[in-house]
Structure 1
Amino acid sequence: MAWTAALLTGIGLENLQAEVAEEFSDGEKLFALKVMPTLADKCFSCHGDDPEKIEADLDLTHLEGLLRGGESFDDVVIPGDSEFSFIMEAIRWDNPDYEMPPKENNRLTEKQTWAIRDWIDAGAPWPEEDRVALIRDQYAEGVIVQTSGALSDEWANRRYKEEDLWAYQPIRNPVVPGTHAKSTNPIDAFIDYRLEQYDITAAQPADRRTLIRRATFDLIGLPPVPAEIEAFIKDNRPDLEAFKDVIERLLADPRYGEQWGRHWLDVTRYADSSGFSNDYERPSAWRYRDYVIRSFNQDKPYDQFIIEQIAGDEWDPENPEMILATGFLRMGSWEHTGMSVARITRQQFLDDVTDIVGQAFLSHPLQCASCHDHKFDPIPTKDYYRIQAVFNTTHFADREVPFQEYEHLVDTDEVKVMENRIQYFAEMRDTLNQKQKTAREQWCIDNGVPVGTRRELVKQGIPEEKLPPRNLGLTDEEIGIVKVGQKNVARTEFEMKKFEPYAMSVYTGPTPEKPQSSGSMLTMPENPSESGTYESSHILIGGDPFGRGEEVTPGVFSALPGSNDTIEANPWNTIPKSPEGRRLAFAKWLASSDNVLVPRSIANRIWSYHFSRGIAGNPNNFGAMAGKPTHPELLDFLATRFIENGWSIKDLHRLILSSETYRRSTEHKNRELVIEKDPLGESYAVFKHRRLSAEELRDTMLFVSGELSSTIGGLPARPEINMDVALQPRQVMGSYAASYEPSRTPELRNRRSVYAKKIRGLRNPFMEVFNQPSPDESCEFRHASTVTPQVFSLFNGEDSLNRSIATAINLLENNKTRKKAVETLFQRAYGRKPDKEELVLSLEHWKKMEDRHEGLAFPPRKLPREVERSAVEEMTGAPFSFKEVLFGFEDYVADPSLADVDAKTRALSDLCLVVFNSNEFLYVY
C-alpha cells in the first residue's frame, strides 16, 4: 500500500494524497473501490445481470435504476440521505421481510454496509466506466489512498508507532560499538556496550568442564563422554582456541542434525498422524523428518532450505530430495472424509499453510488477518489472501519417490505384526460375511428371487420390496463386528504404505472435482493441469469459506520493500497469476537477501536456542504485541553476517559459541546487583541455565544407561509408554485405532527421541509432562514449567525406573568395585567424579537399599496379549464388543524389571534414580 511505501522510503503520505485530492472526490473513490464491487458481487445476480429476470423490478446495475426504485419502494437510494434510503434497511437486515442478500452466508459485512452508507451520504456519485477504471488503476499503483473516514481502508489510514515497525526497516550493517570494536568477537562488543549502560560487569568465564557440557548439549542434545571432557580440560592451548576445536567436532557430528532438526520440526509441527477425530497415520511423514535432519547436517544454505520446502517440486522436479522437502506443506493437522465439506477442508489447509509460512519464515502469525485487517501490525486482509493465493493451486499427493541409498527403513519387524493384524480382522470380517451370504442366498431361494447381493439385484431391476433385508443373518452385535473387521483391515493396509517408497508431498494443478479422503493414499492425476477446475482467489468475508469478496492475485507483504502492492518498481512484481511457478516465485522472494524479515527471523531463532531467549522475545512473532529486540543492532549484525556467509547456520553457531557472552558462567560475583540493575535478565551479564528438554532428558538417561541406539533415520521408533495410555481406546470412524505397541527389541525402542513416533491423539505422558509441545501448533521455543506431576513421573514413573535398572546392570557389568561403579555413574551423568562426601553418601545409600531389598520380592512383569473393546453400532445403536489381539507382544524382548535382578542391582538402581532426579543432571549450566 502507498502509505507503507511512504513510511519506509521517507515520502510524505500527505503529499501523495494531495496529488490526487482534486482529481477524484471521496465519493467517487468509494464507489469505484468499495461500493461497485459489493453491488456486483452481492446484488447484480438478482437485480440486473439478466434483463429478462430482474427481481422486484429493481435494477441496480446503473444509477437510473437505483433512483427509480422497484415495484415495492421508490426511495431505495436518496442521494445525500442514507438514513431514509431503503437500501440501508435491507442490507442491515432491519426489516425481516426485506433482508438482502437473503442468505446468511452472503450477508454484507459491517465494512461493506458502512461503505454504501457513506457513499449515499456523499451524494451517491456514479462515475463513468472509464473513470472507474482510472481510479482502480491509480489505486493499484499506490497513487490513490482512500481517505473517506470509517469507510476507507481502515488499515490504509491507521497510524503505527515507528518502534513497532522495527522488523520492516531495512537491515543495517551496524558499526561495532567504538571502544569494543577490537574485541575478539563482535557479539561481545554489542553486549558489553549495553552492559556499560546497565552499569554492571560481566560474569567470569565458565570453567572448561561446564562449557563443554553446555556446548555438547546445545549442539548434539547429549552430554559429552568423560574422555572428551578430560581432553578439553587438559588441552594446554588458550581457552578459545581449544574450544573452537570442540565446536568443530560437534558441528561435524551426525547427531548435530538430530538436535537442530528437532528444533525446526517443532516449528513446522511434525507428527506421524493427521490429527482431528480420526487421527489417520501419515505413513511417509518420516521421510520429511529425515530430510530436515540431513539438511542441518549438510549445513544446507538456509535460502536453499526455504525454497526446497516451499517449492522444491517446481524448482527441481526430477530431484527426489526436492519432493521430500515439500512435506513441509503437509505438516499441519488435516482431515477429509465422506462426511466433510470439501470447501471447508480445503480452506483449512489454505489457512494453515498461510499461517505457518508466516510464523516459520517471516516471524509473523497471519491467521488473525483472515477475518479483518490486522489491528496492530501492517498486514491487511488483502495481504493475507494474496499470500494464500500463492498456494491456491497447490494440492496434496503421496508421490512415488524411490528410497535413496542414504535412507533406512530400520524397523521391518513391524511388518509381521501388521500382517498378523490384517489376517485377524480379515478372518473376523470374512466369517460374518459368509454367514450373511448364506442367509441371503437361502432367503432369495425361499422368496423366488435370483440369488445375488442387493446391488446385483437392483441392477437386474428387482424392486425394493423384493430385495433381501440389509444385514440379513447377522445379529445387531455381529453387524458392528463385521464393520470393525472391514475398517481395521483397510486402516492397517493403508498404514503399511510406510514400507513403500512414497513421499508426503504436493503438486500444482486445478482443484479436483472430488477430493480424496485423508485415510487413503492421495494420488496425483496423470495430467495434473487438466484434472479439475482452476479457482480464482478471493478475500473471504469474515474468513468464511463461502463468503467470497474481492478477487486477489498472488502477492506478498505490502509493507515490505519488494512487494507487488507498493508504489515501487521492483523485481517481485512477477509472482505469476498463472498456476505454475507461483510457489517458486514466492519462495525466491522469501529467500531473497532483500527480504528484511527472513534473515532477522532465523538469526533470532538460532540465538534463542543458544541463550534460552531471543534477541526479539518471540521467535515466531515480530509484531507489535510481541517482544521487541533488546539488542536491535546486534540482531541486524547477525542477519548481515548470516547472509554474507552464504546463509550458513553452522557459521552462525561458530560466531555465537566462540563469543565471551556464550562462554560466561551462570554465576555472578555480585548477584544482587545484577538482579537490581537487570531484573528481566536481558543484559547477558551471566549465562542463563536451562532445564533439559523432554527429548534430551530421555536421550540422556538412555545415554547414561548405555542403551541409546546410534541408528540414524528411518521409520518411527516406538518407545515404551505407560500401558494405561498405550491401551486406551481411541475411536476412529465407528471403530478403534490399533493399540500402541512398542517396538519389539530394545535396540529399536531406544533410538533418539526425535525418531519416536508422534501421534497427535496419543501423547507420550513422560514427554508431555516435561513440556514437549503439541504438534497441533508451531512451537517457537520450549518452555520449562515446574509442576508436581514431573516429580511423580521422574521419581515414580516406569521410564526412569527402567533406565535406572538398565544403568545399574551396565555399571555392575563394567566395573569391578562399588567405588568404581559410583565414580562411573557420576562421570556419565555429571561429567565429573564424585567428591569424597558424595562418594561416601552414595556407597552408604547403596548398602542401605541393598539391606532393604534383601527381604523384598517382586512379581514378574506380565505383558497384555489382548484387549476387550466395547462400542455402539452406529446405525442400529446396539452395543457390541470384540477382542483386539496385541500381536506386537509376541516374541517381545522386554526391558529388565525389578523381578529380573538381584538385591544388589535393585539397590544400585535406587542410587541411579536419585542421580536422574538431581538438578545437576536435569539442568545445563
Structure 2
Amino acid sequence: MTLKSLCTFLLMTLAVSRAESADVAATIDYVRDVRPILQKHCYECHGEDDQSSSLRLDIRSEALKGGDLYGASIVPGKAAESPLIQFVSDEDADLQMPPDGEELSADEIAILTRWVNAGAEWPKGVDLATLEERPPHWSFQPVSDADPPTPKDAAWCRNPIDRFVLARLETEGLQPAHEADRRTWLRRVSFDLTGLPPTPEEITAFENDDRPDAYKRVVERLLQSPAYGERWAQHWLDVVRFADTHGFEVNTERPHAWPYRDYVIEAFNSDTPYDQFIREQIVGDALGEDEATGFLVTASVLLPGQIGKDAPSMRLARQDAIDEIVVNISQSFLGLSVGCARCHSHKFDPISQRDYYAMQAFVAGVEYGDRPIRDPEAEAAAGEIRAELGDTIRELAEFVPPTDSGATRPPLNARLNYERFAPVTTQKIRFTILTTNKYEPCLDELEVFNLDGRNVALASAGTTPTASGSKTSTNRHELRFVNDGQYGNSRSWMCAEREGGWVELTFAEPQTVDLITWGRDREGKFDDRLAIEYRLDVADQDGNWTTVADSTSRAAFDQQMKAPPINLDQLNEDDRSRADQLLGQQWDLQEKLKAFPDGGRLVFAGTFREPDVIRLLRRGDPEQPQDVVAPAVLSQLGTLTLPADTPEQQRRRALADWIASPDNPLTARVMVNRIWQGHFGIGLVETANDFGRNGVAPTHPELLDWLAAEFIRSGWSVKQMHRLIVLSSTYCQSTQHNPAAAARDADVRLLWRFPSRRLEGEAIRDTILFVSGRLSRESGGPGYDLFDKRGGLTGFNPVESFSGKGLRRMIYAHRVRRERDAVFGAFDCPDYGQSTPRRRESTTPLQALNLFNSRFVLEQTAVMAERVEAEARSAEAAQIERAYELALGRRPDESELVDAAPVVAEYGLAALCRALINSNEFLFLP
C-alpha cells in the first residue's frame, strides 16, 4: 500500500472511530446518509440507465448480489472484505472507483464503512428504482385461460380466434375486410400448409363443392398430404439452423446430417405431440428416436483440425460448442436469449450467469459427431452380406498357398492380402508392422476367420482392439475402425510409429482360426503406408506368443501395386475364371456393406459421454473458472436442481421434461406463436425467438394465452392449431386495402385484412417445378447438390441444370452454410449460420433477373410450354388459358388474352410462361 493509500486508510479509520464515539452519528441511516453518496458517485455507471460489469447499486437485491467481476460487492458486517469499500478507499485496488469522477471524501468513505460493518441495513421499499416491486415479465407469468370476449358483431366470428381479433378491432374503431373468394382462400391455404399451389382441377372442384364442410375437407386433405410435413419442417429447420456442413472456415460436409431433417418432416406429418417432439429432440436416444437428437448439434462447430492443440484453445472450443447447444434449446423452445448470460448476467431478462452455466450442465456430456443407429433390420441385412462375403473370401483363399507350403505367394497388394496358416486356437492375435513402403502404416480392416468361415475379428462379435500407438484423426483414422467391418481410407487405423508398431485383437472367447485378410485401402484410392514387412503372432492360454505367418515367402514387392491379391497366372483356366469371378463378387459385397456402417447407419445426432464438470466462468473466460455449477433450470421459471453426479442421459431427460411441462409458461406460447406466424407472416409476438424484455410485446396477449391453453388441451397437436387458424374468419379475409385502416395500422398487426406476403425462395422453386410438371415427389435421403461440391473453403460453383433427384423439393437440397442458392437464394433464404425465426422480405433487381434469365427458369418454362401444348392441343387461346390456369390458378381475362396472344405468336409459349412466373400474382400469397 502506498503512503497516500495508507494515509487515506488511517483517516478513514479515525473518521469511523469519531463517528462511533459520537452519539449524533451512532446510527447510520441508509436514506439519509448512504444513498446520497451512492447517488452522487455511483449511479451514473451502476444505476437504472447503465450497469457496468452488471453491477447495479440503486436496488437492494442487485447491489447485494454484485456484478460479474467480484461476486457480492457488499458483505454485510465485513467492510474489509467488501469490494465496494476497497474500490473507493484504496488507490491500489484492482478497480479504483469512481474511475474518472470526483473521489469520495474521507467522511464519505467512513460512512460507507460504518454502514457495512453495522450490517448494511437497507430497508425494503426505499429504492429509487422499482425493479424489485414490478411484476414478473408477462411471458414468465402462468398462461391465463380467459374466456374469449363477446364482440358486438359476433355473427362474423367462426371460432374463438375471431372473437379476440374482432373485439380488438372494435376497440380501435376498425372493421374486418370482406371474405376472400374460394379460389383465393384455396391458393392461400394450400401454399400455407403444403408450400405448393392447388391444381386447376382442385380449384374447380372446390368452387363447385356446396357441402357445408367443404372448407374443412380441404384442410384435412392438405394436412394428410406428405407435402405438409415438408413445408412445416422448413420453418422448424430455419429456427434450429440446420445445414449439411460444419461451418466456419473449412465448412466441410456433414454427410449424415440429413436423417434429422427427415425426422422433422415425419414428425410434422404424423402430428407428433409437440411435448413429445421436444423430448425426442433432447433425449431421443432413450426414446427410440436416434435421429431426433440431431437438434442438439445443428449449429456450426469447429473441427479438431481447426482447434489449437494447446489446452486453452481446446477449452475455449468446448465452451463454444456447449454454448451453441444451450442457445439452440433456449431460443427454439423457450424463446429466450439465455446465451447472453455467458459472460455476465443478462442485461434485460432475469437470467443470471449462474442460470446460464446451470443450463450448460444439462448438456455437458454432448459432443458433436456421428452416432450409429442400431437398426435390427439393417443389422440382419448386413449380417447376410458379411456371411456371403466370408464364404467368398474363404473360397478365394483356397487359391493362395498357405504360409508353410514353401510356395512363393503373390506380391503384396494395397487393396487386399491373404494369409493362410495351420489352424490354431487362440483368444489373441497380433499384427506387427516391421517396415512400410512410405510413411506410418495404415490398415483399413483386419479380418480373422474361424473354421466356419466367420469373421471373428468384428467389434460386433465382441472383439476389442489395442495398439502400440495410434495416429488419430477423428472420424477418419481411429483404432475402432480396424475391426468395424467397413473398408477404405476414411474408416482405417493409422499407426503412430513408422516401424515396429502393432495392433492386437482380443476375441470374446477362444477361436480356432486359420485365415486373415488385410488391406491398406480396399477402395483402391491410396497405395502408400502399406506394410511390406510384417509378422502375425497368436497367443496361447499362458500368454506366450508364436509366429504363424509373416511376409518372408511373398514374391518381390511390386512398387506399382499392379499385382492382384491372387496369382492368377499360376492357376488353370477354370480356376482362373472362378477366382476372377470371386474377386469381382468380393468387391461388390464390400461396396454393399457401405450402406450398413457398424451394422446400422450413421446419423449426425451427437454422441454422449461422461459430462464435463461445469463451473461458472468469470467474464465467460474458460481460464477463469469459479465454483462448480450443478444442472438447474432457470431460477425465474422453476426450482428443479439435479445432483452434480447425475448421469448424462438423465440430465437431458430432466431438462426435456421441464421444458415440455404444461406448467412451463413459455413453451406453448412460443410454439403457437410460430404456428401463427407461419400463416400470417408475423407472429402475435413479432420477435419469435425473444419473449424477454428486449422482445416485442404481443399484439393480442389474451389470444396468445388462449391459443397456448388450447394447444395443451388438444394434446399439443400442431395440426389442431392449423385447423383453428385457417378456418377462422380472420384468416378467410381478403387482402383488400382500406386507407383509413392503414392510417391507423399500416403494418396490419391488428388483422383488419389478411396481410399478403411473398412466397419464400423454396416455395417459388417448388412451384415452378410443380406447374412445369417436373416436380419429383421422392422424399428423404441424402440431399441433392446445389453446387459442384458439398463443402470446403470457397469456390462453390452453382449447378445450373437439374435432373433426377435434383428435381425434388428444395427442402431436400444439400445445405451448405454461408452459400445461398444461386437463383432462389436472392429471395432471402437464410445462410444457416444463425437461427432465422422469421424470413425477411427484400425486393432487389437480382430477384427479377434470376427469375427471368437463369438457366433453371429457362429450362422449366420450356418444359411448362410443352406441357401446356400437350394439354391444350387446340387453338392458341386455349393454350394461353391453360398456362394461366397452371401458373395462377385462374383463366385470363379478355385484356390479358389480347396482350398475351402477340407475345406467344412472336416469341413462343415459353416466353409467356416466363412472364407468368415473374408476375406478382405468382410470387405473392393471395
Using structure 2 for the length normalisation, give the TM-score: 0.64
In structure 2, the residue matched to 1:501 is 601
Deviation at residue 788 of structure 1 after TM alignment: 1.4
Q: Could you say if the C-alpha distance between residues 541 and 637 of structure 1 is closer, same or farther in structure 2, counting changes exceeding 3 Å?
A: same
Deviation at residue 794 of structure 1 after TM alignment: 1.2
Deviation at residue 550 of structure 1 after TM alignment: 3.4
Please give the alpha-carbon distance, in whole angstroms, between the structure 2 residues aligned to 1:368 and 1:162: 22
Please give the alpha-carbon distance, in whole angstroms, between the structure 2 residues aligned to 1:660 and 1:387: 42
In structure 1, the residue matched to 2:878 is 820
Tell me which of 775, 779, 788 is aligned to 1:708. 775
Please give the alpha-carbon distance, in whole angstroms, between the structure 1 residues aligned to 2:360 and 2:245: 24
Deviation at residue 384 of structure 1 after TM alignment: 1.3
* Equivalent residue letter for 1:204: H
In structure 2, the residue matched to 1:752 is 809
Please give the alpha-carbon distance, in whole angstroms, between the structure 2 residues aligned to 1:543 and 1:830: 55
Q: How far does the alpha carbon of each residue in 1:84-132 deviate from its partner, in whole angstroms, 9 at most, with x for none?
A: 54xx6253499xxxxxxxxxxxxxxxxxxxxxx99996479999xxxxx
Tell me which of 209, 218, 225 is aligned to 1:235. 209
Are the aligned partners of 1:539 and 1:551 in contact in 2 as well (CA < 8 Å)? yes
Deviation at residue 592 of structure 1 after TM alignment: 0.3
SS of structure 2 residue aligned to 1:776: coil
1:598 aligns with 2:667: yes
Query: What are the within-5 Å matches in structure 2 for residues 310-325 of structure 1?
Result: 310-314=282-286, 316=287, 319=288, 322-325=289-292
In structure 1, the residue matched to 2:266 is 294
1:219 aligns with 2:193: yes
Q: How far does the alpha carbon of each residue in 1:872-907 deviate from its partner, in whole angstroms, 9 at most, with x for none?
A: xxxxxxxxxxxxxxxxxxxxxxxxxxxxxxxxxxx2
1:198 aligns with 2:172: yes
1:649 aligns with 2:623: no
Q: Could you say if the C-alpha distance between residues 439 and 717 of structure 1 is closer, same or farther in structure 2, counting changes exceeding 3 Å?
A: closer
Query: What are the within-5 Å matches in structure 2 for residues 840-855 of structure 1?
Result: 840-849=898-907
SS of structure 2 residue aligned to 1:691: coil
Are the aligned partners of 1:794 and 1:800 in contact in 2 as well (CA < 8 Å)? yes
* Equivalent residue letter for 2:331: Q
Please give the alpha-carbon distance, in whole angstroms, between the structure 2 residues aligned to 1:662 and 1:39: 52
1:547 aligns with 2:621: no
* Equivalent residue letter for 2:869: L
Q: Could you say if the C-alpha distance between residues 37 and 582 of structure 1 is closer, same or farther in structure 2, counting changes exceeding 3 Å?
A: farther
Using structure 1 for the length normalisation, give the TM-score: 0.64
Are the aligned partners of 1:665 and 1:686 in contact in 2 as well (CA < 8 Å)? yes
Q: How far does the alpha carbon of each residue in 1:530-574 deviate from its partner, in whole angstroms, 9 at most, with x for none?
A: xxxx532122222222221233221112122xx12xxxxxxx345
In structure 2, the residue matched to 1:685 is 752
Please give the alpha-carbon distance, in whole angstroms, between the structure 2 residues aligned to 1:77 and 1:752: 63
Please give the alpha-carbon distance, in whole angstroms, between the structure 2 residues aligned to 1:830 and 1:222: 12
Please give the alpha-carbon distance, in whole angstroms, between the structure 2 residues aligned to 1:592 and 1:779: 25
1:587 aligns with 2:656: yes
Query: What are the within-5 Å matches in structure 2 for residues 796-875 of structure 1?
Result: 796-817=853-874, 818-849=876-907
Tell me which of 809, 823, 827 is aligned to 1:766. 823
Are the aligned partners of 2:68 and 2:619 in contact in 1 as well (CA < 8 Å)? no
Please give the alpha-carbon distance, in whole angstroms, between the structure 2 residues aligned to 1:918 and 1:742: 22
SS of structure 2 residue aligned to 1:924: coil
1:334 aligns with 2:301: yes
Please give the alpha-carbon distance, in whole angstroms, between the structure 2 residues aligned to 1:538 and 1:286: 34
Deviation at residue 603 of structure 1 after TM alignment: 0.7
Query: What are the within-5 Å matches in structure 2 for residues 420-819 of structure 1?
Result: 456=498, 501-510=601-610, 535-560=612-637, 563-564=638-639, 572-574=640-642, 577-580=645-648, 581-668=650-737, 671-719=738-786, 726=788, 746-817=803-874, 818-819=876-877
Q: How far does the alpha carbon of each residue in 1:697-743 deviate from its partner, in whole angstroms, 9 at most, with x for none?
A: 00000001111001111111224x6xxxx489x855xxx88977689
Please give the alpha-carbon distance, in whole angstroms, between the structure 1 residues aligned to 2:67 and 2:822: 56
Q: How far does the alpha carbon of each residue in 1:360-381 deviate from its partner, in whole angstroms, 9 at most, with x for none?
A: 0011122221111112211121
Please give the alpha-carbon distance, in whole angstroms, between the structure 2 residues aligned to 1:36 and 1:280: 37
Deviation at residue 809 of structure 1 after TM alignment: 2.2
Deviation at residue 834 of structure 1 after TM alignment: 1.4
Rg comparison, structure with higher value: 2
SS of structure 2 residue aligned to 1:549: strand
Q: Could you say if the C-alpha distance between residues 80 and 297 of structure 1 is closer, same or farther in structure 2, counting changes exceeding 3 Å?
A: closer
Tell me which of 212, 234, 237 is aligned to 1:265. 237
Q: How far does the alpha carbon of each residue in 1:162-200 deviate from its partner, in whole angstroms, 9 at most, with x for none?
A: 588111111111121134678430111111101111212
SS of structure 2 residue aligned to 1:372: coil
Please give the alpha-carbon distance, in whole angstroms, between the structure 1 residues aligned to 2:135 and 2:177: 31
Are the aligned partners of 1:336 and 1:342 in contact in 2 as well (CA < 8 Å)? no
* Equivalent residue letter for 1:648: S
In structure 2, the residue matched to 1:105 is none
Q: Is 545-554 or 618-627 further displaced after alignment? A: 545-554
Please give the alpha-carbon distance, in whole angstroms, between the structure 2 residues aligned to 1:161 and 1:793: 56
Matched residue count: 650
* Equivalent residue letter for 1:918: S
Deviation at residue 620 of structure 1 after TM alignment: 0.7
Q: How far does the alpha carbon of each residue in 1:844-886 deviate from its partner, in whole angstroms, 9 at most, with x for none?
A: 111122xxxxxxxxxxxxxxxxxxxxxxxxxxxxxxxxxxxxx
Q: Is 181-190 or 247-256 further displaced after alignment? A: 181-190
Q: Could you say if the C-alpha distance between residues 272 and 228 of structure 1 is closer, same or farther in structure 2, counting changes exceeding 3 Å?
A: same
1:908 aligns with 2:909: yes
Q: Could you say if the C-alpha distance between residues 717 and 161 of structure 1 is closer, same or farther in structure 2, counting changes exceeding 3 Å?
A: farther
Q: How far does the alpha carbon of each residue in 1:733-755 deviate from its partner, in whole angstroms, 9 at most, with x for none?
A: xxx88977689x71211000010
Q: Is 609-618 or 576-585 further displaced after alignment? A: 576-585
Deviation at residue 638 of structure 1 after TM alignment: 0.3
Q: Could you say if the C-alpha distance between residues 815 and 166 of structure 1 is closer, same or farther in structure 2, counting changes exceeding 3 Å?
A: same
Q: Which runs of 5+ in 2 are unaligned?
A: 1-30, 32-57, 73-77, 98-107, 308-312, 380-412, 415-435, 441-494, 502-527, 530-590
Are the aligned partners of 1:213 and 1:224 in contact in 2 as well (CA < 8 Å)? yes
Are the aligned partners of 2:756 and 2:924 in contact in 1 as well (CA < 8 Å)? yes
Deviation at residue 348 of structure 1 after TM alignment: 1.0
In structure 1, the residue matched to 2:92 is 89
Are the aligned partners of 2:195 and 2:763 in contact in 1 as well (CA < 8 Å)? yes
Q: Which runs of 5+ in 1 are unaligned?
A: 1-13, 15-25, 41-62, 68-75, 95-116, 128-134, 136-145, 408-425, 428-435, 441-452, 460-481, 484-492, 511-533, 565-571, 850-906
Give the structure with the higher percent helix: 1
Tell me which of 360, 366, 391 is aligned to 2:363. 391
Q: Could you say if the C-alpha distance between residues 395 and 827 of structure 1 is closer, same or farther in structure 2, counting changes exceeding 3 Å?
A: same
In structure 1, the residue matched to 2:443 is none
Q: How far does the alpha carbon of each residue in 1:488-529 deviate from its partner, in whole angstroms, 9 at most, with x for none?
A: xxxxx9xx889871122234422xxxxxxxxxxxxxxxxxxx
Deviation at residue 691 of structure 1 after TM alignment: 0.6
Deviation at residue 644 of structure 1 after TM alignment: 0.4
Are the aligned partners of 1:370 and 1:384 in contact in 2 as well (CA < 8 Å)? yes
Tell me which of 169, 184, 189 is aligned to 1:210. 184
* Equivalent residue letter for 1:911: L
Are the aligned partners of 2:818 and 2:832 in contact in 1 as well (CA < 8 Å)? no
Are the aligned partners of 1:80 and 1:123 in contact in 2 as well (CA < 8 Å)? no
Please give the alpha-carbon distance, in whole angstroms, between the structure 2 residues aligned to 1:773 and 1:194: 34
Please give the alpha-carbon distance, in whole angstroms, between the structure 1 residues aligned to 2:888 and 2:84: 82
Are the aligned partners of 1:575 and 1:586 in contact in 2 as well (CA < 8 Å)? no
Deviation at residue 921 of structure 1 after TM alignment: 0.5
